[in-house]
Structure 1
Amino acid sequence: MANIGGFFKNVMSEMRKVSWPKRKELTKYTVVVLSTVIVMAIFFAIVDLGISGLFRWYLEL
């Protein structure tokens, strides 16, 4: 049980050393992540539609 208490004590000590992002930085990072996800989703949707169209065209021959 002493090892568990020591572990959490060390975790708390290390968490105090962490440099947490400010609100403005966090907002900027969130916008970057969300916009990247949206762009990638649109890209893969277009690629999927293109490949599906090619398969449908090929199967109609």
Structure 2
Amino acid sequence: MSKFIKSVIAEMKLTTWPTAKENRHDTGTVLVTSILFALFFAGVDWVLLKLLQMFILK
């Protein structure tokens, strides 16, 4: 078990962590992308609802 923990610690020392600026940029990208996808799927849902109301749910 101690061999495993030592190897984990060794690997963690090799890890390069993103800077605060990179984190802000990546977070902004995820937020904008999430909002755009939400708007897209809301639009598709609305269009499908209107089509169903026109043709099926008279």
Give the structure-2-normalised TM-score: 0.90
Match status 1:22 vs 2:15: no
Q: Which amino acid aligns with 1:31?
A: G
What percent identity do the matched residue pairs reach? 37
What is the match of residue 43 of structure 1?
40
Q: In structure 2, how many angstroms separate the alpha carbons of the residues matched to 1:24 and 1:56? A: 48
What is the match of residue 31 of structure 2?
34
Give the structure-1-normalised TM-score: 0.86
Paired residues in the alignment total: 57
Please provide the CA RMSD for this pair.
Answer: 0.8
- Runs of 4+ deviating beyond 4 Å: none
Displacement of 1:41 in angstroms is 0.4
Displacement of 1:12 in angstroms is 1.1
Q: In structure 1, how many angstroms separate the alpha carbons of the residues matched to 2:4 and 2:13? A: 15
**Higher helix fraction: Structure 1 or Structure 2?**
1
Displacement of 1:19 in angstroms is 0.9
